Structure 1
């Protein structure tokens, strides 16, 4: 967990770079690349590394909002309502839950904890966002019709979201390990350079 300024700078630098990757590298209107983003990993990482109870939740939400806006600007086929798609509030809610899980699971970093955290936030994002999409009258992409408002319709919505969940899980696991161990390496490098500088003076 971040407790001093240079650690916070490292954390925010990783988050900003990851947010720019989502906004600038991932195509905004390409369904094949949907969910292959670092979004859940950003929330997990911010929740674990930022000590401020407000900033750890605000940071991933702002990354989602700003990167969504840039994706909207990149994709002329999207309408202005693309920023507030069916169930968008549930997606934001899943990001807040992911940050919370990061603060609880990853108060100490280890390979097992990073993997557990990545799997947990991926599952939460899938279930929360799909339930929200269903409750918001989401459209079944295979039929072009809204899901029937029933238990069967809900399960159908969740099942249709499973291919996207697999992409989310893959991306979240990979990016989570990258973020946490890049942070560790950069922190050790800065500490080494500061110590070396102090000894040379």
Structure 2
């Protein structure tokens, strides 16, 4: 057990993700700020995890677990009428899109900055738009199973994708900006070398 090291960077990154995940659960039930529930935080969580966790396991597992836990809480409470048993209908399309968004954070935001964050945000909005709406269209009796039918679904989703964009920009600016300020103030949070063999 002598090679176990406490990793403050991992802890702080995880706290950031959990706090925003908790906000996702709390915002819909707080009257004064309930309107913020329309602006999704999941894009920011995916980009943040992908950008800052060097380990692939951490980069995907921590954000995905946060999404799963917050989804379960919301499915059992606020959005109970929309859930079909374990989670909402078509959840696997959302999780597939989320994994791809995390990958974008890993590949595009190699060095966090305004331009890389903006580029990654635009890419994940397109991913979210196409993947989740493909899941809504595919096999649905409500829409023709043609390209025209799929385009109809995409058009209907445009207002939601704008809110997804605004949510990603807002929460992302908060997460990335706050962590960069902490990194500047506390150099111990800078990544150095490869992850320790075992870190907690």
Q: TM-score, normalised by structure 1?
A: 0.81
Shift in alpha-carbon separation, 1:186–1:33, aligned structure 2, 3 A: closer
Distance change in 2, residues 1:76/1:95 (3 Å): closer
Alpha-carbon spacing, 1:83–1:116, altered in 2? closer, same or farther (3 Å): farther
Alignment of 1:81 with 2:77, yes or no, is no
1:120-170: CA deviation from partner (whole Å, max 9, x where unpaired): 111211111001111152xxxxxxx71122221111111111110000001
- Residue of structure 2 aligned with 1:162, choices 158, 165, 170: 158
> Residues 16, 154 of structure 1: CA spacing in aligned structure 2 closer, same or farther, 3 A cutoff?
same
The answer to whether structure 1 residue 6 and structure 2 residue 8 are counterparts is yes
Q: For residue 151 of structure 1, what is the aligned residue in structure 2? A: 147
- Unpaired segments ≥5 residues, structure 2: 1-5, 189-200
* Residues 42-63 of structure 1, C-alpha deviations (whole Å, 9 max, x = no match): 0011001011111211122112
Q: Unpaired segments of 5 or more residues in structure 1? A: 138-144, 193-201
CA RMSD of aligned residues (A): 2.4
Q: How does 1:17-96 map to 2 (within 5 A)?
A: 17-27=19-29, 35-75=38-78, 77-78=80-81, 80-81=83-84, 83-96=86-99
The one of 165, 168, 174 aligned to 2:170: 174
